[in-house]
Amino acid sequence: MQIYALRSVVPAIRAAGGKPEEIFARVGMTLQDLDDVDRRVPTMVGFDLAKAASELTGDAHFGLHWGQSEKLSTLGAVGYVMLHSPNLEASLRGFCRFLDLVYEGLDAHLHVEPETAAVRYRPAREVPLDLRHDNEYAMAFVVRLIRTLVSPDWRPERIEFRHAKPDDTGEYARWLDVSIRFGADFNAVVFPRALLDHENGVADESLLPILERHVSDLRSKTPTFGDFLGRVNAEILELLPSGDVTVQSVAAKLGMGVRTLQRRLREVDTQFKDLVEDARQVVSVRYLQDTDVPLTEIAFLTGYSEVSAFTRAFRRWKGTTPIEFRRRRGA
């Protein structure tokens, strides 16, 4: 994902009474990282930030509150495509079409039925994690976007979440007071189909083709989940538990020669060993934060034959041991 999309989390953390520096440190980042506007980080970093913010601020609905505070500008050039589309349908289709420029690895689409329409969203690939904060952030953000384009007090017919119903649902009623469904196949904002024809009164349609070409050009130059780096990362993740994560094995899985793989990685200023290291770090943090899987299994899942080797690597990444990192989670 584009790191500029994370800038909005800083005021959201402060509004919840938290310290952004502390929360960014929890996921191995600093606030200074946000200054590198061209940098991309794994979308999972955004998920991890929301979860860490919830834990350290005590705000059980941090993702929901963060999404409510978002603006079109968070989407960068994609937001301008929405703003200058002729009607709501065109805006939402542009949002879904170009979303992977900002957040890769997500499946967002406009689902239209005879009487209703819905913006549907979920990760393109299943991950063994509780993504409640991401689900709530995304749906609150979509509602916020539609309100920007339609009316500040607009309300959908129904909201659907993929996660299970939490113990306290009062915050949803305070937010929208509409029907909420939990345990759905997709996160979704559902509304009357007729709303798709709502005209955008501020759109400059002469700008739209220029903006779309600009965003398409940016997209073609940006590695995303479905592009080359995404495919390399997917193969690395699949091979991690085998311990056979070599440039030779990944090249074979991709159906290309080793030299070709290395050359293409150089073209995007990346080294194979760094991708493996990043994958191991991301997977280990997920399991330590979101599961009670034993360290022996996490070591295996990240390609280490011994817990001691995994522990040394983790200390190098995070400056602490896996046991201490997990203990902080429960603190």
What is the spatial distance between Cα 209 and Cα 207, in angstroms, rounded to a whole number?
6
Q: Look over the chain and give the mean of its residue pLDDT values, rounded to a whole number.
A: 89
Which of 185, 220, 255 is the last residue in one of the domains? 220
Claim to verify: residue 141 and residue 281 sit in the same structural domain: no
Three-state secondary structure call for residue 194: helix
Predicted local confidence at residue 226, as pLDDT: 45
* Backbone φ/ψ region at 85: left (φ over 0), alpha (ψ -120 to 50), beta: beta
In the structure, what pLDDT confidence band is assigned to residue 225 with cuts at 50, 70 and 90? very low
Residue 118 has φ and ψ, to the nearest 5°, of -150, 140
Give the position of tokens 């980042």: 29
Fill in the DSSP letter of residue 108. E
Condensed to tens digits (0 to 9), the pLDDT of residues 90-130 reads 999 999 999 888 887 778 999 999 999 999 998 866 665 67
Arithmetic mean of pLDDT, 2-8? 90
What's the domain count of the chain?
A: 2
Tell whether 16 and 114 lie within a shared domain. Answer: yes
Tell me the C-alpha distance between 156 and 132, whole Å. Answer: 20
Please give the distance of CA 103 from its chain centroid, rounded to a whole number. Answer: 6
pLDDT band at 13 (very low <50, low <70, confident <90, very high): very high
Q: What is the pLDDT of residue 330?
A: 59
**pLDDT at 171 exceeding the cut of 70:** yes
pLDDT of residue 49: 92
Same-domain check for residues 100 and 122: yes
Domain boundary among 220, 247, 271: 220
Describe the chain by its helix, strand, coil percentages, rounded to 5. 60, 10, 35
Q: Are residues 212 and 70 in the same domain?
A: yes
What pLDDT, in 10s, does the model give residues 78-88?
999 999 999 99
In a shared domain, residues 259 and 325: yes
Q: Which of 9-18, 189-198, 252-261 has the lowest mean pLDDT?
A: 252-261
* CA angle in degrees (0–180, nearest 5) for 303-282-319: 90
pLDDT tens digits for 56-74? 999 999 999 999 999 998 8
CATH of the domain at 119: 3.90.1520
Cβ burial of 58 (10 Å; 0-12, 13-18, 19+) is exposed
* Dihedral angle over CA of 29, 30, 35, 38, nearest 10: -10
Of the pLDDT bands very low, low, confident and very high (cuts 50, 70, 90), residue 44 is confident
Q: Is it the case that residue 279 has pLDDT exceeding 90?
A: no
Q: What is the CATH number of the domain that holds 239?
A: 1.10.10.60
299: helix, coil or strand?
helix
Domain boundary among 187, 220, 253: 220
pLDDT digits (tens, 9 = 90+) for 244-260: 899 999 998 888 899 98
Same domain, 155 and 205: yes
- 152/15 same-domain check: yes
47 and 160 in a single domain? The answer is yes
CB count within 10 Å of CB 210 equals 12
Same domain, residue pair 173 and 233: no
pLDDT at 191: 98
Tell whether 140 and 106 lie within a shared domain: yes
- Whether residues 28 and 132 share a domain: the answer is yes
Q: Are residues 263 and 294 in the same domain?
A: yes
Quick: pLDDT tens for 194-224. Answer: 999 999 988 998 999 999 988 888 777 665 5
Name all contacts of 291-300 with Cβ < 8 Å and 24+ positions apart. 291/128, 295/322, 295/323, 298/322, 300/241
Going across the sheet that includes 116-123, the strands are: 106-112, 116-123, 187-192, 158-160, 179-181
Domain hosting 278: range is 228-329
Q: Which of 12-21, 223-232, 249-258 has the lowest mean pLDDT?
A: 223-232
- Give the start-end residues of each E strand in the chain: 106-112, 116-123, 158-160, 179-181, 187-192
Residue 285: the pLDDT is 85
Contact, 142 vs 160, CB < 8 A?
no
